[in-house]
A and B are shown apart, each in its own frame.
Chain A
Amino acid sequence: MRFLQQLFTIFMKDLRLEWRTREAMSAMLLFALLVLVIFNFAFNPDREMVLAIGPGILWVAFTFAGVLGLNRAFASEQENGCLSGVLLTPMDRGAIYLGKWLANLCFTLIAEAILLPFFVLFFNLSLTTEIPPLLLVCLLGTIGFTAVGTLLAAISANTRLREVMLPVLLFPIIVPVIIGAVQSTGLILNHETEGLTSFIRMLALYDVIFLVTSTLLFDFVLEE
Chain B
Amino acid sequence: MRLERLHTAANVATAIAWGAIVWALYMVFHFVPMERTMGNVQRIFYFHVPSAMVSFLAFFICFLASLAYLFTRRRGLDIAAQASAEIGVVFCSVVLITGPIWAKPIWGIWWTWDARLTTTLVLWLIYVAYLMLRAYLPEGSRKANLAAVVGILGFLDVPVVYMSIRWWRTQHPAPVIMGGKGSGLAPPMSQTLRVCMIAMLCLFIALLLRRIVVELLQDEVDHLYREADVAPPERG
Contacts and interface: CB of A to CB of B under 8 A. Distances in A.
Interface of A: 148, 151-152, 155-156, 158-161, 165, 168-169, 171-173, 175-176, 179-180, 183, 195, 202, 206, 209, 213-214, 217, 220-221, 223-224
A183 B149 CA distance: 29
Contacts of B140: 224
B150 interface: yes
Q: Is the interface of B mostly helix, strand, loop or mixed?
A: helix
B53 interface: no
B145 A159 contact: no
B234 to A, nearest CB: 16
Contacts of A176: 157, 160-161, 163-164
B111 interface: no
Contact of B70 (A152, A160, A206, A220): A220
Contacts of A180: 164
Given A173-B126, A175-B164, A209-B160, A165 B153 contact: no
Interface in B27-47: none
B191 to A, nearest CB: 37
Contact of A172 (B125, B133, B142, B168): B125
Contacts of B171: 183, 195
Interface string B134-165: 00111011100110111011101100110111
Contacts of B142: 158, 224
B132 interface: yes
A217 B157 CA distance: 14
B230 to A, nearest CB: 27
Contacts of A173: 126, 153-154, 157
Contacts of A183: 168, 171
A1 B163 CA distance: 38
A156 B130 CA distance: 11
Given A165-B132, A179-B165, A202-B167, A220 B157 contact: no
B122 interface: yes
B133 A169 contact: yes
Contact of A155 (B150, B165, B168): B150
A148 B153 contact: yes
B133 A165 contact: yes
B129 interface: yes
A152 B150 CA distance: 8
Most A C-beta atoms less than 10 A away, residue of B161, B164, B168: B164
B4 to A, nearest CB: 32
A213 B138 contact: no
A175 B122 CA distance: 8
A224 B150 contact: no
Given A165-B136, A168-B132, A183-B171, A155 B157 contact: no
A220 B148 contact: yes
B167 to A, nearest CB: 7
A180 B138 CA distance: 36
A217 B152 contact: yes
B132 A172 contact: no
B126 A151 contact: no
A159 B150 contact: no
B133 A156 contact: yes
Contacts of A217: 149, 152-153
B37 to A, nearest CB: 34
Most A C-beta atoms less than 10 A away, residue of B122, B126, B145, B171: B145
B129 A160 contact: no
A172 B132 CA distance: 14
Contacts of B163: 176
A220 B133 contact: no
24 contacts: A151-B149, A155-B150, A159-B133, A159-B136, A160-B138, A165-B132, A165-B133, A165-B136, A168-B129, A171-B125, A172-B122, A172-B125, A172-B126, A172-B129, A173-B154, A176-B160, A176-B164, A195-B171, A214-B153, A217-B149, A217-B153, A220-B70, A220-B148, A221-B146
